[in-house]
Amino acid sequence: MLKKLSLVGLLSVAGLLSNSARAEGWVGFMNVFSTGSGIAGNGYQFGSGWGLADVKTTVVTSNTGTYIGDQLRLEPNYNTYADNPNDAYWRNNGGAGPLGNKFMEANTFVETGSISVGSINFSGSIDSYTLASEFTAIAFIKVLNPANSYSIDVFETYNLNSGSQFSLNADLSAHAGKILQVGYAVYGINSNPANTVANGSVLVTATAAAIPEPSSFALIGAGAALFAASFRRRRA
């Protein structure tokens, strides 16, 4: 079931991702990089829509009809390590482990297909932060430009390890017709499930996401809209 998005006047009308990659309108998308390169390097491997369970996001609380009050638990990625024994692509030490072998950018967001408003605010509470230091979690507002190979034209971020509240604002007046994403990302090496407790998590709740001018958008799937890549994971 899709939910009405509580960006003032913003309505989730349709979803192009399969239900496995969408939970109450929250979309999962994973970008994978070679170890050591990270998002700033040249080691991009692939990106595709993933189910929230695989991205390792849990919708703890979901309010019917609104994203306000939705509480999400964000964790490092584990399934690529767990599902691929002896696979050197996903595990270090020639596939024997015990560490992962890819840098993961795990995104969880709500997406709108055509911006027609002037600005956006995205705010929330950081209810707990126990994420290990080798991982990073952020809240973000992102604008993608489909007319320019989906370039990132706006990227406002807040590091979730700072304080108990986050608030982001973006001027959208120059970005009519582009794609808007609002949500969270976790960065770090794919991890051995044996380290789940030690790696910790982040618990966040959306408290505001307001656009001042009325509009309506269609919620679209990032995998279908941004990339031709289908959902895939390498297996042994």
| 31 in any annotated domain | yes
Side-chain half-sphere of 93: how many Cα atoms within 13 Å? 8
Half-sphere exposure of 232 (CA within 13 A, CB side): 10
Residue 77 within a domain: yes
Q: 139 falls in which pLDDT band (50, 70, 90)?
A: very high
- Residue 94: inside a domain: yes
Residue 8: per-residue pLDDT: 30
| CA-atom Rg of the chain in angstroms | 17
Query: Does residue 25 sit within a domain?
Result: yes
| Pair 29, 50: CB distance under 8 Å | yes
Least confidently predicted of 91-95, 185-189, 231-235: 231-235
Question: Is 194 strand, coil or helix?
Answer: helix
Q: How many residues make up the chain in this entry? A: 236
Note the pLDDT of residue 3. 34
Please state, rounded to an integer, the average pLDDT across all residues of the chain. 80
Tell me the average pLDDT across 136-147: 96
Over pLDDT 70: what percentage of the chain? 75
Q: Whose structure tokens read 């939910």?
A: 3
- 17 pLDDT above the threshold of 50: no
Least confident span in 53-57, 118-122, 132-136 = 118-122
- Contact predicate 67/219, CB 8 Å: no
Assign 55 a pLDDT band (cuts: 50, 70, 90): very high
Kindly state whether residue 49 falls inside one of the protein's structural domains.
Answer: yes
Domain count, the chain: 1
Domain interval for residue 147: 19-191+210-221
The predicted pLDDT at position 7 comes to 33
Beta bridge partners of 74: 57, 202
pLDDT of residue 22: 43
Amino acid residing at 14 = A
5 falls within a domain: no
Rounded distance, CA 165 to CA 54, Å? 27
Does residue 171 register a pLDDT over 50?
yes
Least confident interval from 3-17, 18-32, 47-61, 110-124: 3-17
Q: Could you tell me if 102 and 80 are in contact, meaning their C-beta atoms sit under 8 angstroms apart?
A: yes
pLDDT of residue 218: 34
- Is 196 part of any domain? no
Residue 66: predicted pLDDT: 74
**109 lies in a domain?**
yes
